């Protein structure tokens, strides 16, 4: 037995001396995690002398870290064997809380990047907030979403180290708090590089006021503590609006300022006050606008704190920072009311004004530009995305089409001014989690054929191409898919008490609920299929299980209405004996990273059906591709690059393209589609004619009206559901019939998708950032 195994058993015997097989999941989890922490301790302490990249992000959606840490340390199989020897189920860690310190794609991307950075041997460290409660836990009651607090600390936090002596003070207009860092190791594959994810927790300067307590003012005695803790209390369950404004701005400043202070403190240990060297030592990536307040804050720290001139400080700031844009949704380009900004951050606002003055001066001397187009402070608001473009050296979009839209529309004036600043860096995902860990059967299949170097070099997958014509390989691939469906069925049965028919095609749409992602279009098309099958219009059809998963922001009523509608449609279909042998529909609850790891490997079809031009990139589309699902999707985000790689003939692409929607302009009249096409009218009317009911809330009527008449700021059918409806139904049926008629030919498509997934590794993405943006 080696030292690691001894430590695990030693830790276990401290928790439960007699019989290890009786240990609780938490006890096993603690014993193993602490043994790994001991193992990595000395490697983790060595400080890098090279230039460091810092990833500032309001979210890190890590998912469960124990499996990936064990895999990357090369301890996964050894640990599982050890547990088996002591009669402990090696799947025990699946009972441990998934941690959810992120909303969805943006936070998961940050987690994939950290894994890739450490694996590439780059010094890439994450900085964010240690929320007490992550994204809410979702349940359904009568088909409606209910939210519960996500208590991720219930299983302890063996992976974090509290660094009390590295705390820093953060000041707001009306209060001051300590930011206390909790550091988590980020272990690269092979265990050679161990980076750090530093998450800040907000704590009071004075936890308790004895005087007030003695005066029996109990509430007031802990008021400061409560106010401070509020700052890192919850993750905003909304990744695209600026709700809870004051607290949200406080959160953003809290982790931005704390991270910058700790970076400067470390810098000064080696370089004293030679701040010109800062850009040689640090590159800071701003993940969306959430950390953009870092820009005026670093100016402030350098000017007020270190006596630099504005022009010296500006030059440093611009070299250090770069910015990633994640969305073109107008409501997500953050703006803060000047009055709010001044109340929360009075000491920072003057630096925003200095930036604005510098910009005005620059534009004023350029006669071809209209100063009104370039204002960081306009209409009584501070524009964070504009600030990010102006004061950094790089702005990037996250897929080719997205970057083009940024250049041509969203940030057009800025692209005209600074074309050299704009880059595209298409997103990626880590194949360690999204293939090696979540689909060990497929991993073995791949490794048996081409060796295991794909784990750190995903383009190796190209070597699978010849196997597309090997009948034996295709047969094995089908068997693996079946096995993953069986495993998923067990999981869904346990979690959601629903029986999946594993003989069926699995057609999966899992992602946050949003109108632009068009889960409602999927539901309409399922209802249309149902009528078609029931009434004999559709004859050839391979039985299909339609699976949905995803959370709606608690204040987003229409998205919650869509969940309710899908659950109602599911009931209608699942209980109809005339069709339920041909189709079933289920909405799984609490979609998170762990659920994704079960769902994605079992999917035949990956639903990626956002309105063209709305999904910046998408990353679940890449996870599905790697696991051998074909994409049923629109010309949007990274879907376009996926079919560029894998071939349009191996995927199913439909619907209006961005240029077509642009050309259509004001001439789109959804009501004409509604009136002309009975199938459209029928599914639309199901919202209001009693086919299904919303329980009296009126939300179905609201959805109906939003499509036919428009509602609030949306014009009618803002996301073109009715325009794309028939092409979607046709393409979906064609895909089904391809599967029905020739399974081998269909499986060939799956294999070719896997073989061409190489560029969608976040290893490629992070290497590109390192070279083109961070100059590591
Ligand atoms: C990958 C992932 C996402 C992003 O999904 P998209 O379909 O790209 O929006 C969201 N949530 C979880 C849990 C994920 O793993």
Distance from Cα 76 to the centre of ligand 1, integer Å: 25
Ligand 1 atom closest to Cα of residue 608: 7
pLDDT, tens digit, 9 for 90 and up, residues 645-657: 999 999 999 999 9
Q: Indicate whether 231 pLDDT > 80.
A: yes
Task: Give the per-residue pLDDT at 20.
Answer: 85
Q: Indicate whether 240 pLDDT > 80.
A: no
Return the residue whose CA atom lies nearest to atom 11 of ligand 1: 104
pLDDT mean over 173-181: 96
**Which of 623, 748, 756, 764 does the annotation list as catalytic?**
623
517 belongs to the catalytic site: yes
Q: Indicate whether 712 pLDDT > 80.
A: no
Return the residue whose CA atom lies nearest to atom 2 of ligand 1: 105
Task: Give the per-residue pLDDT at 727.
Answer: 98
Task: Give the per-residue pLDDT at 243.
Answer: 57
Cβ pair 232, 136 in contact under 8 A: no
Ligand 1 atom closest to Cα of residue 511: 7
End-to-end CA distance of the chain: 41
The DSSP bridge pattern shows strands 176-187 and 194-204 to be antiparallel
Q: Indicate whether 8 pLDDT > 60.
A: yes
Distance from Cα 418 to the centre of ligand 1, integer Å: 32
Query: For the chain, what is the mean pLDDT?
Result: 95
Distance from Cα 105 to the centre of ligand 1, integer Å: 5
Instruction: Average the pLDDT over each of 222-226, 390-394, 495-499 and give the range with the smallest value.
Output: 222-226
Q: Indicate whether 333 pLDDT > 90.
A: no
Q: Indicate whether 242 pLDDT > 60.
A: no
Residue 21's pLDDT band (cuts 50, 70, 90): confident
Domains observed in the chain: 47-63+98-330+388-427 (3.40.50.2000), 431-760 (3.40.50.2000)
Distance from Cα 376 to the centre of ligand 1, integer Å: 32
Would you tell me how many other CB atoms lie within 10 Å of the CB of residue 577?
Answer: 7
**Is the Cα torsion angle 8, 183, 288, 283 positive or negative in sign?**
negative
Would you tell me how many other CB atoms lie within 10 Å of the CB of residue 20?
Answer: 21
Return the residue whose CA atom lies nearest to atom 15 of ligand 1: 593
Cβ pair 525, 736 in contact under 8 A: no
Return the residue whose CA atom lies nearest to atom 4 of ligand 1: 105
623 belongs to the catalytic site: yes
pTM: 0.97
**Which of 132, 167, 326, 383 does the annotation list as catalytic?**
326
Ligand 1 pocket test: pick from 108, 522, 592 the residue with the most ligand atoms within 8 Å of its Cβ. 108
Distance from Cα 478 to the centre of ligand 1, integer Å: 25
d(CA 758, CA 424): 18
Ligand 1 pocket test: pick from 150, 588, 609, 619 the residue with the most ligand atoms within 8 Å of its Cβ. 619
d(CA 462, CA 329): 36
pLDDT mean over 408-432: 96
The DSSP bridge pattern shows strands 544-549 and 583-588 to be parallel
pLDDT mean over 733-747: 98
Q: Indicate whether 219 pLDDT > 60.
A: yes
**Is the Cα torsion angle 583, 587, 591, 595 positive or negative in sign?**
negative
Ligand 1 pocket test: pick from 59, 98, 102, 105 the residue with the most ligand atoms within 8 Å of its Cβ. 105
Query: Can you read off the two tokens belonging to residue 742?
Result: 């020739």
Distance from Cα 705 to the centre of ligand 1, integer Å: 29
In three-state form (DSSP H/G/I as H, E/B as E, the rest C), the secondary structure along 595-641 is HHHHHHHHCCEEEECCCCCCCCCCCHHHHHHHCCCEEEECCCCCHHH
Distance from Cα 619 to the centre of ligand 1, integer Å: 6
- Residue 525 makes CB contacts below 8 A (sequence gap 6+) with 683, 725, 728, 729, 732
Return the residue whose CA atom lies nearest to atom 10 of ligand 1: 104
pLDDT, tens digit, 9 for 90 and up, residues 579-628: 999 999 999 999 999 999 999 999 999 999 999 999 999 999 999 999 99
pLDDT, tens digit, 9 for 90 and up, residues 65-101: 999 999 999 999 999 999 999 999 999 999 988 878 9
Q: Indicate whether 666 pLDDT > 80.
A: yes
Task: Give the per-residue pLDDT at 364.
Answer: 84
Residue with tokens 């191996």: 650
**Which of 132, 511, 732, 748 does the annotation list as catalytic?**
511
pLDDT mean over 297-301: 98
Ligand 1 atom closest to Cα of residue 615: 9
Would you tell me how many other CB atoms lie within 10 Å of the CB of residue 716?
Answer: 17
- Residue 717, judged by CB atoms within 10 A of its CB (0-12, 13-18, 19+), counts as buried
Distance from Cα 771 to the centre of ligand 1, integer Å: 26
Q: Indicate whether 752 pLDDT > 90.
A: yes
Pocket of ligand 1 (CB under 6 A): 104-105, 108, 511, 592-593, 596, 618-620, 623
Residue spans of alpha helices (H) in 235-394: 245-271, 278-281, 294-303, 310-320, 338-344, 349-364, 384-391
Q: Whose CA is closest to 46, among 264, 194, 265, 246?
A: 194
pLDDT mean over 492-505: 98
**Which of 484, 517, 560, 564 does the annotation list as catalytic?**
517
pLDDT mean over 719-731: 98
Return the percentage of the chain with pLDDT > 70, whole number: 99
Return the residue whose CA atom lies nearest to atom 3 of ligand 1: 105
Ligand 1 pocket test: pick from 399, 512, 590 the residue with the most ligand atoms within 8 Å of its Cβ. 512
pLDDT mean over 90-116: 93
619 belongs to the catalytic site: yes
Task: Give the per-residue pLDDT at 543.
Answer: 98
Q: Indicate whether 239 pLDDT > 90.
A: no
Give 244 or 312, the one with higher predicted confidence: 312
**Which of 137, 290, 393, 512 does the annotation list as catalytic?**
512
Task: Give the per-residue pLDDT at 241.
Answer: 58
512 belongs to the catalytic site: yes
pLDDT mean over 40-69: 93
Query: Can you read off the two tokens belonging to residue 85?
Result: 């020897």
Reduced DSSP (H G I as helix, E B as strand, rest coil) percent helix, strand, coil of the chain, to 5: 55, 15, 30
pLDDT, tens digit, 9 for 90 and up, residues 444-490: 999 999 999 999 999 999 999 999 999 999 999 999 999 999 999 99
Q: Indicate whether 367 pLDDT > 80.
A: no
d(CA 600, CA 506): 10
Distance from Cα 539 to the centre of ligand 1, integer Å: 35
Q: Indicate whether 110 pLDDT > 60.
A: yes
């Amino acid at each position: 037995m080696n030292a690691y195994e001894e430590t695990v058993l030693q830790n276990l015997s401290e928790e439960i001396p007699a019989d290890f097989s009786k240990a609780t999941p938490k006890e096993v989890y603690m014993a193993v995690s602490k043994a790994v922490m001991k193992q990595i301790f000395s490697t983790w302490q060595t400080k890098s002398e090279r230039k460091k990249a810092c990833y500032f992000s309001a979210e890190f959606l890590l998912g469960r870290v124990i499996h990936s840490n064990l895999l990357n340390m090369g301890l996964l199989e050894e640990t599982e064997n050890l547990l088996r020897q002591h009669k402990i189920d090696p799947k025990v860690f699946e009972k441990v809380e998934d941690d959810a310190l992120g909303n969805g794609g943006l936070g998961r991307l940050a987690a994939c990047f950290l894994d890739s950075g450490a694996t590439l041997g780059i010094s890439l460290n994450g900085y964010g907030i240690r929320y007490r409660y992550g994204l809410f836990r979702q349940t359904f009651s009568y088909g409606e979403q209910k939210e519960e607090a996500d208590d991720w600390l219930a299983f302890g936090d063996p992976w974090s180290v509290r660094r009390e002596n590295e705390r820093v003070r953060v000041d707001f207009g009306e209060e001051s708090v300590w930011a206390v860092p909790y550091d988590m190791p980020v272990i690269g594959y092979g265990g050679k590089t161990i980076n750090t994810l530093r998450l800040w927790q907000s704590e009071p300067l004075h936890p308790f006021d004895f005087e007030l307590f003695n005066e029996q003012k109990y509430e007031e005695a802990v008021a400061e503590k409560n106010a401070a803790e509020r700052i890192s209390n919850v993750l905003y369950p909304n990744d695209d609006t600026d709700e809870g404004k004051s607290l949200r701005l406080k959160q953003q400043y809290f982790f931005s300022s704390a991270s910058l202070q700790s970076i400067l403190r470390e810098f000064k240990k080696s370089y004293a006050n030679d701040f010109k060297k800062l850009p040689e030592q640090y590159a800071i990536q701003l993940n969306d606008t959430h950390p953009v307040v870092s820009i005026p804050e670093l100016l402030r720290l350098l000017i007020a704190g270190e006596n630099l001139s504005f022009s010296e400080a500006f030059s440093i700031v611009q070299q250090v920072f770069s910015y990633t844009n994640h969305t073109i949704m107008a409501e997500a380009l953050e703006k803060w009311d000047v009055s709010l900004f001044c109340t929360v951050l009075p000491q920072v606002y003057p630096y925003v004004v200095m930036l604005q003055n510098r910009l005005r001066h620059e534009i004023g001397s350029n006669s071809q530009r209209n100063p009104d187009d370039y204002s960081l402070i306009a209409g009584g608001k501070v524009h964070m995305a504009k600030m990010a473009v102006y004061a950094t050296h790089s702005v990037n979009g996250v897929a080719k089409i997205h970057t083009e839209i940024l250049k041509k529309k969203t940030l057009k004036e800025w692209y005209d001014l600074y074309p050299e600043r704009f880059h595209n860096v298409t997103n990626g995902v880590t194949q360690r989690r999204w293939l090696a860990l979540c689909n060990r059967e497929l991993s073995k299949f791949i490794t048996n054929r081409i060796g295991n170097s794909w784990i750190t070099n995903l383009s190796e997958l190209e070597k699978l191409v010849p196997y597309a014509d090997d009948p034996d390989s295709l047969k094995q691939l089908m068997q693996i898919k079946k096995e993953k469906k069986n495993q998923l069925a067990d999981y869904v049965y346990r979690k959601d008490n629903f029986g999946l028919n594993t003989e069926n095609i699995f057609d999966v749409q899992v992602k946050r609920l949003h109108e632009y992602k068009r889960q409602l279009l999927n539901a309409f098309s399922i209802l249309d299929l149902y009528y078609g099958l029931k009434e004999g219009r559709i004859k050839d059809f391979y039985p299909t299980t339609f699976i949905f998963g995803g959370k709606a922001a608690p204040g987003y009523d229409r998205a919650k209405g869509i969940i309710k509608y899908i659950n109602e449609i599911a009931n209608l279909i699942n209980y109809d004996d005339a069709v339920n042998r041909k189709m079933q529909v289920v909405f799984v609850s609490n979609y998170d990273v762990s659920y994704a790891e079960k769902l994605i490997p079992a999917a035949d079809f990956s639903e990626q059906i956002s309105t063209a031009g709305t999904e910046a990139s998408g990353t679940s589309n890449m996870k599905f591709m790697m696991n051998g699902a074909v994409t049923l999707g629109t010309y949007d985000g990274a879907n376009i690059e996926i079919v560029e790689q894998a071939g349009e003939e191996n995927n199913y692409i439909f619907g209006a393209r961005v240029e077509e929607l642009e050309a259509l302009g004001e001439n789109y009249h959804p009501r004409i589609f509604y009136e002309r096409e009975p199938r459209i009218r029928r599914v639309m009317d199901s919202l209001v004619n009693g086919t299904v009911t919303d329980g009296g809330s009126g939300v179905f009527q609201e959805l109906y009206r939003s499509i036919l008449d428009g509602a609030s700021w949306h014009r009618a059918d803002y996301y073109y559901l009715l325009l794309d409806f028939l092409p979607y139904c046709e393409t979906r049926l064609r895909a089904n019939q391809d599967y029905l008629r020739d399974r081998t030919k269909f499986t060939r498509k799956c294999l070719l998708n896997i073989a061409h997934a190489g560029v969608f590794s976040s290893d490629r993405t992070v290497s590109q950032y390192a070279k083109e943006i961070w100059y590591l």
